[in-house]
Structure formats: C-alpha cells, structure tokens
Structure 1
Amino acid sequence: MKVRATLNRLFRGLRPRIILAVTISFLPAFGMIFLYSLERRGDAREAARREMVQLAEEISNEHARQVDQVRELLNIVALTPQVKGKEWRASGELFAELLPSFPYLANILAVEREGNVMASAVPYEGPVNISDRPYFQRALEEKCFSVGEYLIGRIIGKPILPLAQPVFNEKGEVDSILVAGLSLEWLGAFCASFSHPPGSAIMVVDGRGTVLSYHPEGEGYVGSTVPEAPLMKAILEGEGTGSIWEKGLDGVKRLYIFRPIAGEEKTGRVYVCVGFSEEEMYRSSNRAMVRDLGYLLGLATAILLLAYILSGTYVLKPVGKLQRAVQELEKGDFSARTGMTERTDEIGRLAGSFDRMAESLQARVAERDRAEAELRESEERLSALLEIVPVGIILLDQRGEVAFVNRAAESIFGLKENDMLGR
C-alpha cells in the first residue's frame, strides 16, 4: 500500500505518467542491448579460446621441435669418435665448437655412469657430479631420452632445463650420458617472440610445478615452485590438455589454455600455458555495449524531452483549457467555452462535446430566465389591476392564509396589508 501511495504521489499528473510510459517503452531496447552484449561476450570468449589454443599449439610445437633437435644432436654426438672413444678432452672441444650453433643451449656435457662430468662445452674447475639429478637417474635406468625439471646448472650457475640422452656401447649397455642444458633465458625470449594480445600471459612449467618461463614478468616467477596454486593444480592434476578460468601467478584472472610439450609423455612433462586477460577479452564487447547504451540513452533523453514539450502543447494545455471552462461553468458562467472546436483528436472531440453541452445549458437557462421574466411581468400587471379595482379583494394561499390584500380591502377592514398577510 505504501508503494502504491508513493507511486500515485509521484505520478499524480498527466505529464509524469506520459514520461513514465515513454520510459517504459525503452526498456525492451535496453534489454536487447544487454542480451546482444552477452552474445558478443560469448563470441569474444570463444574467439579468445581459439586464439589461445592456436598460440599454445604454436609454442608447444615449436618448443617440441627444439627438444627434438636437441635429441637428434645428442644422438649424432653420441656416435662421434670422441664420445664413443671416451676422449673427454676432445669431446669438450667438440662441444665448445657446437654450442654457438645452438643459441638455445646453455651447455653440453658428457657424464660417466657414476655421474661424474667428464667433458663440458663450458670450462669448469674441479670434479662435478650429477648422479643425484632425477633426470640423470631416469635416463640411466630407463635407457631413453629424458627431460628433467628446473634446476641451476652446477657448472654454469644458471637456470636450465636439462635434456639427457644415453650413449650405448657395443653390448647395448649405457656407457655414458650426454646432457644438454636448455637455457631458460632463451626460453623466456622464445615465448615472448610469439605474437600475443595485450594482457596475456605465457608460462612454461615442469612436472613439479616449477615455472621455467613466464612472460611478461618473468623475472619474478621463474624458478618458483607453486604446485598448490589453483592454476598449477589444474595443469598437473589434469590430463595435460585443458582450459580453466583462474587467477594467474600475478593475480589477474584469465582464460588459460595449457598442453604438454609434444613427445614428452614418457620422459618427463613440460607444459606450456597461455592465458588471455578477462579484462582484455571483454574490452571490445564492453566498449560496444557502453557505446550502444550511450546512443540509446541519448535517443531516450531526446525523446523524453520531446515528450515533455509535446505533452504540454498537445495534452496539458488543452486539458487546462477544458478544466478552466468547467470551473467557469461551475461558477455560473454559462458562456464559458473551450474554444477548441477545430481540434479533431480525442481531446478536441471531448472539448466539442463540452462546448455543445454548455451551449445547450446556456440556451435552457436563457429560456428559463425569459419565462421567469414573463411570469413576473404578468404577476406585476395582475397586481396592478387588483390594486385599482374598487372592490375589496383578499387572496388566500393553499394553506388558507392571506397572501394578498388590495387597497379597497384595507379600507373596508381598516387594516394594513402587512397586518393581514399570513392570517
């Protein structure tokens, strides 16, 4: 009841109700803009997903190609006389000659079964042993190419992703292990080289949840191990390929697409993950929605202003004239007219009906006034006639009381008319 009373108070006049009706008529248009905006957001989300999938595939395939090149390189090096003959000094010189041709490698090593480094492309001092490295143990035990996890190289002191290839003797036994360290500095530059939309993130992680590369703010995240982060859990606990809406390491919510580097299913997982910022994803659709709403609001404002003006001209003024005419008629001015007989709309027809009613009423009142005047004139003539006759005349009303006494009667009874009236 209170709401209804408030609405009645707010929209008591014709103009507010007209404005309200016009405003309500725009609601479907606003609803259509909102629905169309949702549709555009869905299209933007799907387009971003396709773009991120394509980018993830490009990075994954290119990185896998680099890993395959390293595998082929190590296979070829394993067949050289220097390595087969365990000529470690010559092997080191060979590695040093090869290293500049492969800018994505930080070092190349030859390691004995016991884990002792025997040759290195980068010079080193003192004995170095890597038998505790999981990738080395996996390559030695499984006798296959192995991809390791993030680590700091003990010779170069820089972060690398180690790739290990066993070297077999004539009996098919592992004689030594060749190790190539993929430079994570190069990996970061490699990921950044791909065309990507503003606000996106490109990340490469290993099977432990350690960040190998992160673009654009790689300095702060490379080397950090965060397997408990929701994004990392989705990557590590999933099937290796998927998508998720989640906050990244930088706290920005993105649509992330992730997939493993091709060809690493058995030898250690490395994943590439690309994310598209939610803000950037919907920027175009949001801008279009704001633009459309601005256009519609401008149009609505113009139409409401026009409705405000026209309602005064075509509704309020005619109704005001009609109201004033009614008030004048109520006061007894039967000549009151609206003066809107030329209008052909509903208000004009109503005004015409009022004017005809007023004319009819004025004619009836005039006829009544004429009749009353004639009656008074007749009564006055009769009264004058009765006054001059010499016969005493007394007229009684329906109750038998004296209503008229002429002069002759006054003389006869010796009483004044006022003394006899009403008796």
Structure 2
Amino acid sequence: MPSWLAGTWSTLSARIRWLILFASLPAVVLVVYQSRAHREDAIAAAQDRARHTLQSVAGNQQRLIQDTRQFLQRLAAMPAVHDPASQACGRYLAQVLLLNTTYVNIGVPRADGELLCNARPLAAPVNVANRPYFQQAISGRDFSVGSFQIDRAAQVASVNFAYPVVPPARTKSWVRPSPWCRWNGGACA
C-alpha cells in the first residue's frame, strides 16, 4: 500500500470517516438517481401540460372561427346590411357590436372595398380592397380569414374575417368583423 494511503487508514478516526463515506455512497448515488428521474418526470409533465394548453387554445380558435362564420352568415342575411351606403347600416352594426363583445369592430365594405358601413365611427376613409381576406371573399364568394394586422377602421391589432353579403340580385358587399380574443390580451384568430 502506498505510504500516503497507508497514513489515511492508520488512525481509528480516519477509518471511521472512510467507513461513513463508503456507507453513505449508495445513498448519495440513490439521491442523484432519484433527482434525475424526478427531473425527467417534471419535464414530461410540463410537456403534457403545454400540449394540453396548445390543444385547448387551438380548439378555442376553431370555435371562434366557426362561430364567426355562423355570425357572419346570419348578419349577411339581414336587410340592414344590404346597402352599405345607408346610415341605417352603420347604426345597425353599432347595435350588433354592443351585443357581441367578441369583436372590436364590424364593417360592411362595398364590393370595391370602400368601407361605408361601420359599427365604429371612421376618422378617415378606409378601403380594404387590397387586403387578402377581402380579395379571397370576393374571388371565392365564401367565408375567408385574414391574417394578424392593424385594423384600419378600429386602429387595433386584429384578424379580420369576411363573408359576402348577397342581396337577391348580386354580391354587393362583404361583412368583416374584427374579433378580439381574450386569451392573449390582444386580437387574434
């Protein structure tokens, strides 16, 4: 045995220290192993919670889109929105907006994109003809969903939806609400 190692075993107190060290070594290994296993379990649980939250948010978004589609279908059938140039159209949309807190604004632009009928008063003329959701609603003559943007009429971040208003003769205008989603404190789709 080397001399430096022999000196560490020569006294009774040194032997007791070594004995305690060797006796406690399995406990230390067990604690490290359990800590690692607990960490892995906590990571798996956090991933499961994140997945569940994501599925819940996605489900809420799908319901918002479906509810908005149904809302716009019903709104587009109302005679009050068939003439976006009339003052009655804006008054009607203002009343509808008061009843539905999901949306920050509701507007009915003409087929050329000029927003004449709006639930909120407009500070300046607004034309949505260049917005993709509006172009999709015109070309597809069906419900369309926009992307995240600053709404020109309400001046807030939102996602716009569009649905064609089809009076008996032809398509004249599109209903376009801007939903306000509470889950992120801002607007979304």
TM range (shorter): 0.7 to 0.9
Task: Kindly provide the CA deviation profile for residues 270-311 of structure 1, in whole angstroms up to 9, marking residues without a partner as x.
Answer: 5xxxxxxxxxxxxxxxxxxxxxxxxxxxxxxxxxxxxxxxxx
Write the distance in 2 (CA, Å) between the matches of 1:154 and 1:79. Answer: 25
Q: Which residue of 2 aligns with 1:95?
A: 93
1:181 aligns with 2:178: yes
Distance 1:70 1:46 in 2: 36
Q: Which has the higher contact order (CA 8 A, sep 6+)?
A: 2
1:107 paired with 2:113, answer no
Q: Give the letter aligned to residue 149 of structure 2.
A: L
Alignment of 1:114-129 (within 5 A): 114-129=112-127
For 1:59, the equivalent position in structure 2 comes to: 57
Shift in CA distance, 127/87, structure 1 to aligned 2, threshold 3 Å: closer
2:115–2:127 CA contact under 8 A, matched in 1: yes
How far residue 10 of structure 1 moved from its aligned partner, in angstroms, is: 3.6
| Percent identity (aligned) | 25
Counterpart AA for 1:182: P
User: Could you tell me which residue of structure 1 aligns to residue 165 of structure 2?
Assistant: 167
State the alpha-carbon separation in 2 of the partners of residues 111 and 46 from structure 1. Answer: 49
RMSD in angstroms over aligned alpha carbons? 2.7
What letter matches 1:104 in structure 2?
T
What is the letter of the counterpart of residue 179 of structure 1?
A: R
Structure 1 residue 180 displacement after superposition: 0.4
Contact 2:84 2:110 in 1 (8 A): no
Paired letter, 2:178: G
Change (3 A) 1:21 1:108: same
The letter for the 2-side match of 1:32 is L
8 Å CA contact 2:84–2:117 kept in 1: the answer is no
After TM superposition, the structure 1 = structure 2 runs for residues 369-388 of structure 1, keeping only pairs within 5 Å, are none
Alignment-derived partner of residue 320 in structure 1: none
Q: Secondary structure at the match of 1:148?
A: strand
Residue 83 of structure 2 contacts residue 89 of structure 2 at CA under 8 Å; is this kept in 1? no
| Counterpart residue identity of residue 176, structure 1 | S
TM-score (norm 2): 0.84
1:124 Cα deviation (Å)? 1.4
CA distance in 1, matches of 2:149, 2:97: 20
Which residue of structure 1 lines up, in the alignment, with residue 141 of structure 2? 143
Name which one, 1 or 2, has greater alpha-carbon Rg. Answer: 1
- The corresponding residue for 1:152 is 150
Tell me by how many angstroms 1:93 deviates.
Answer: 1.2
Which structure 1 residue ranges, 5 or more long, are not aligned? 192-212, 215-221, 224-260, 262-269, 271-423
1:29 is displaced (CA, Å) by 1.2
Distance 1:141 1:11, change over 3 A: farther
Residue 226 of structure 1 corresponds to none
Secondary structure of 2:57's counterpart equals helix
When residues 13 and 62 of structure 1 are mapped into structure 2, their CA distance, relative to the original with a 3 A threshold, is: same
From 39, 46, 49, the counterpart of 1:48: 46
Q: Secondary structure at the match of 2:134?
A: helix
Q: TM-score, normalised on structure 1?
A: 0.41
Could you tell me which amino acid in structure 2 is paired with residue 23 of structure 1? L
After the TM superposition, which parts of structure 1 deviate over 6 Å for at least 4 consecutive aligned residues?
Answer: none
What is the correspondence of 1:9-88 to structure 2 with a 5 Å cutoff? 9-86=7-84, 88=86
Deviations 1:19-62 (A, max 9, x none): 21221121111111221222222222222222222222223223
| CA positional deviation for 1:159 | 1.6
The question of whether the paired residues in 1 share the 8 Å contact of 2:146 and 2:161 is answered with yes
Q: Counterparts in 2 of 1:273-422, with a 5 A limit? A: none
The SS at the match of 1:150 is strand
- What is the number of equivalent residue pairs in this alignment? 189
Q: Which amino acid aligns with 2:89?
A: S
